[in-house]
């Protein structure tokens, strides 16, 4: 059975795709949060296609959610991959936005299914967003880096390339599937602080969305996102000021790029998470 369910086929002009997936590639919900904000800011609510989850997810790990009112089921929500179209008559290309969860099973088939929808939509390039936990602080600009299926694609990002060997997530697999399908693909990565790992990070969201906007060609900034970032920085500054241990750690990372001692990680993360929940 074809896992792609279509609700229409928009007429798009030379579209460029931007993608993000919740899960291992998405520290602090930075990548998925950035694209959710973009869709909300542009009031884009209805996908033109989805990839059904039955073949790709373990529902004990990614459970569907249900909405019940007055004893009656109103809605059932599944972990789908959703494709949205943004038509832009003032520009020479439109956008395809893809958001979803990192799948559990059959990653190669899933990635090829995603790229098949992109190719069928006429997508000319794909830019994927990701975020990871790094030895960085909230007091400095969000470090960004880039990976591409071809080194020449990195020039448009003006970002430093990444050197990495080790476990990977669905973003890398999608990059290979795009290469196989002849779609130029780049991924942009944001580093987020250890001590904020349990909290959504509007700083990283804004940094990713702004850079993606530069690369793809859209306005990725907004007053709402700037305000969220400013509030977040104030709240984190207050939390750091409340804890001598956390303040010391932030100073050491800022000065020396020091890795966090794993033995202290849990306590500091729990401490700042409790504070941010109370503000």
In a domain, 245, yes or no: no
Three-state SS for 100? strand
In a domain, 87, yes or no: yes
Among 150, 225, 140, residue whose Cα is nearest residue 191: 140
State the pTM of this model. Answer: 0.88
Q: What is the pLDDT of residues 246-264, one digit of tens each?
A: 777 777 777 765 554 544 5
Note the Cα 170 to chain centre separation in Å.
12
Q: What is the pLDDT of residues 139-197, one digit of tens each?
A: 888 999 999 988 888 888 899 888 888 889 999 999 999 999 999 999 999 999 888 88
Q: What is the CATH number of the domain that holds 185?
A: 3.40.50.10900
E-assigned strand segments in 32-179: 49-51, 65-69, 72-77, 81-86, 95-101, 125-134, 144-148
In a domain, 67, yes or no: yes
pLDDT at residue 270 above 90?
A: no
Q: What is the pLDDT of residues 23-56, one digit of tens each?
A: 999 999 999 999 999 999 999 999 999 999 999 9
Among 172, 176, 203, residue whose Cα is nearest residue 190: 203
pLDDT reported for residue 279: 45
Q: What residues does 273 pair with on adjacent strands?
A: none
In a domain, 279, yes or no: no
In a domain, 130, yes or no: yes
- Let me know: does 88 contact 48? Beta carbons within 8 Å: no
- Let me know: does 129 contact 188? Beta carbons within 8 Å: yes
In a domain, 111, yes or no: yes
Domain span at residue 23 reads: 4-222
In a domain, 95, yes or no: yes
- Domains: count for the chain: 1
Name, in order, each residue with C-beta under 8 angstroms of 170's C-beta and a sequence gap of 6 or more: 21, 23, 24, 25, 102, 103, 107, 110, 111
In a domain, 234, yes or no: no
């Amino acid at each position: 059975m074809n896992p792609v369910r279509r609700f229409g086929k928009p007429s798009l002009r030379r579209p460029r795709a931007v993608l993000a997936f919740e899960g291992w590639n998405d520290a602090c919900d930075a990548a998925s949060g950035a694209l959710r904000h973009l869709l909300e800011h542009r009031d884009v609510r209805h996908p033109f296609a989805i990839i059904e989850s039955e073949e790709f997810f373990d529902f004990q790990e990614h459970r569907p959610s249900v909405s019940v009112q007055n004893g009656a089921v109103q809605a059932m929500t599944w972990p789908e991959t959703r494709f949205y179209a943004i038509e832009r008559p003032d520009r020479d290309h439109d956008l395809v936005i893809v958001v979803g969860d990192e799948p559990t099973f059959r990653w190669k088939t899933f990635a090829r299914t995603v790229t098949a929808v992109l190719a069928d939509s006429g997508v000319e390039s794909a830019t994927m967003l990701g975020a990871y936990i790094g030895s960085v602080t909230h007091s400095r600009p969000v470090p960004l880096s880039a990976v591409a299926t071809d080194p020449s694609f990195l020039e448009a990002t003006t970002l430093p390339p990444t050197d990495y060997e080790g476990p990977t997530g669905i973003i890398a697999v999608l990059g290979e599937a795009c290469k196989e399908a002849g779609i130029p693909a780049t991924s942009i990565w944001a580093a987020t602080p250890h001590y904020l790992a349990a909290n959504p990070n509007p700083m990283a969201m804004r940094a990713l969305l702004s850079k993606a906007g530069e690369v793809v060609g859209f306005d990725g900034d907004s007053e709402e996102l700037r305000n969220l970032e400013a509030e977040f920085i104030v709240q984190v500054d207050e939390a750091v000021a409340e804890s001598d241990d956390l303040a010391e750690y932030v100073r050491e990372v800022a000065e020396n790029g020091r890795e966090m001692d794993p033995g202290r990680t849990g306590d500091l993360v729990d401490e700042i998470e409790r504070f941010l929940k109370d503000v």
